[in-house]
Amino acid sequence: KIADFRRRAADLPDAVAPMETEDENDDGDVVLSMSAVEALQGAMDTFAELSEHCPMTPLLWIQYGATAFDYCQELAKETLSGDDPSLSASSTSNSIETETQILQLGLQEFPGSLLMHLRHIHLLQKQQNLMTQLSQPQGRELVSALEQAIAQVGSGSYGSDGQLIVSHLYTALAKMYAKEGNPEQVSDLILKQQSQRPLPNEELASFYHDLCQEYNLPATENADVLIDDGRRMVAKVYHGSLQVEQFETEVQALLHAQQLLPPWSLLSQTTNSEGTEDGEAFLEP
């Protein structure tokens, strides 16, 4: 029912069209057509009914939030007048806030869902860009979301599929700390946390020094030694888990083949128009 409502909404660009006309469905039955707002409202009601009878999975929470965003956007079309970009940005900001609140509820139930953390962070990034466009002060919501994501999924529970994405979470948070002028937090995050995680840390030392140089932050004197110590610790502690990771990969491949997992990989290489790797794209689910 939810998918059907969303398909109807996607096929109805006019948000204010009344439910007056009749159509025939695939079975030849006469049904009332509906506006995009009404279709999305039907999807929202179905989500509410579903949540009363069974637990919501992470993917359902994400779909719930996305549907709420679309619903708020369609409602805003009824009240917006003219081509004032500030009005459009403001309505988009309100829609993002609604979706964010829904995802936060989902994260309370599934704090270890990397997918929901990624979606949540991506929304906060968009919200931050809109705040800049509207010349409004920015809070630390994005920093807090990155800290929460790393605390929940950044300590090795992500498995082999999530290594590159979690690495980008650490990188994004380190840059946020650097922009705020917090060298202690940058050093603690990179040298004492990221270096001791099973992540692709081959370029971690150069990243740390470049970051300190870019933002004029004092670098820890023994940074290279700490990173090397962390790499050796990872090799020693996580070496025994290689067989487990291989087994998990085989199980995931089977689940993908049986369409029990989404038909795409979180580690798909995303490139920009110049063909180079775009790190921020990994934060978009």
pLDDT for residue 70: 87
pLDDT attached to residue 29: 41
Q: What's the pLDDT tens digit per position in 155-192?
A: 766 666 678 888 999 999 999 999 999 999 999 999 99
- Measured distance CA(48)–CA(232) in Å, rounded: 50
Ranges of residues in the chain whose predicted pLDDT is under 50: 13-33, 242-244, 263-285
Encoded tokens for 82: 């003219």
CB 134 within 8 A of CB 86: yes
Report the pLDDT value the prediction gives residue 270, as an integer from 0 to 100: 39
Residue 69 — left, alpha, or beta (φ > 0 → left; ψ -120 to 50 → alpha)? alpha
Q: What residue ranges do the domains of the chain occupy?
A: 1-153, 157-285
Is 207 in a helix, a strand, or coil?
A: helix
Amino acid, res. 272: N
State the pLDDT at residue 32.
37
Greatest Cα pair distance in the chain: 75
CA 160/CA 146 separation, integer angstroms: 20
Neighbouring C-beta atoms of residue 63, cutoff 10 Å: 17
Residue pair 98/260 in contact by the 8 Å Cβ criterion: no
Phi, psi angle pair for 30, to nearest 5°: -85, 125
- What is residue 266's predicted lDDT score, i.e. its pLDDT? 41
